[in-house]
Amino acid sequence: MRCARRRPPPRKIFTQWSEYCAMLQMMKLALTLFAALLLISQPSWADVRVDNANALERAVRNGESGEVIYVVAGRYDLSDLKIPRDLSLIGEEGVTFFSSQPVAKGILNPLWDASLHVENIRFEGATSPDLNGAGIRHDGVNLTAINCTFENNENGILATGQEHGKVVIQSSQFIGNGYGDGYSHGIYLSSGAVLEITSSSFVGTKIGHHVKSLAATTTIHGSSFDDANGKTSYAVDASRGGAVSITGSSFTQAADADNSTLFNYDLSRGGDAISLEISGNRIINRKRNGRILRNDTALAPTIENNDIINERGGTLQPQ
């Protein structure tokens, strides 16, 4: 008796099995490539946490571009801490940066190619032999300050960086800044494309301006400005013209303000007269013979829907 031969599997089943194996190989290769891409895309550093000035200086000096440094609550004695690359400094509640000695430029100093993001940090007491010591002396590209306080510095922020840079201020306070000679300010942007200020406050800037901006575009919204006892000059000085928008904010001009005018718009520092809007603001004036605007250009500004309140014998003229 001959044994019956086993019948081979149908060709169709064999073909389906081969296709299945090939598909598994392709999926395995795709997963391998995906894992490799994930490794490549991940930064080579982990977020850093520091609790003293020396550790912060080392982290800034040795860190990678784009690194986030978390700063533990406390007081940090820093002088001209140079920021050489893109960096974020995030403070816990109660972080203060100060300098126990005069600075050459500022407590923090982002360099030419660097962008800096700071949050939840207080900058106080920066002084310099040239009377321009700053909480942040920004010589870099972009600067963002969120929920920060700048108090009793010769300049809160002094930005002298790249012309295409952007400075963004959100939910921050500027208190008692300025040396008192009229050449230092709450914020002074001497170069840059954009200055944006939202939900922030300026109080008692000493003789200088709350905001001096030479940016191509200056936008101020939802913020408050109070001369208090600072004998402040202009609330906003835009002496390179540009596109300026001041909306939804409040201004209190003191009786002893160093200047009778709230806003200045001219081309004394070059630039072009693009646009000027002052609308939807609340203005409390205590200055005799005060003015809303000094406009030394041919541009017709938009001034509308401002709530003007004269107190203590103050008078305020539109222009």
CB atoms within 10 A of CB 105: 22
pLDDT score of 85: 98
pLDDT score of 89: 98
What number of residues does the chain have? 319
Q: Which residues pair with 240 in a beta bridge?
A: none
Find out whether 155 and 185 touch, Cβ atoms under 8 Å.
yes
pLDDT score of 315: 87
pLDDT score of 23: 66
> 6 φ, ψ to 5°?
-75, 130
pLDDT score of 241: 98
pLDDT score of 19: 65
pLDDT score of 46: 62
Low-confidence stretches of the chain (pLDDT beneath 70): 1-24, 27-46, 318-319
pLDDT score of 35: 53
Tokens at 52, concatenated: 């003293």
Residues 6+ apart with CB under 8 A from 155: 106, 126, 132, 133, 134, 135, 137, 177, 178, 184, 185, 186, 187, 188
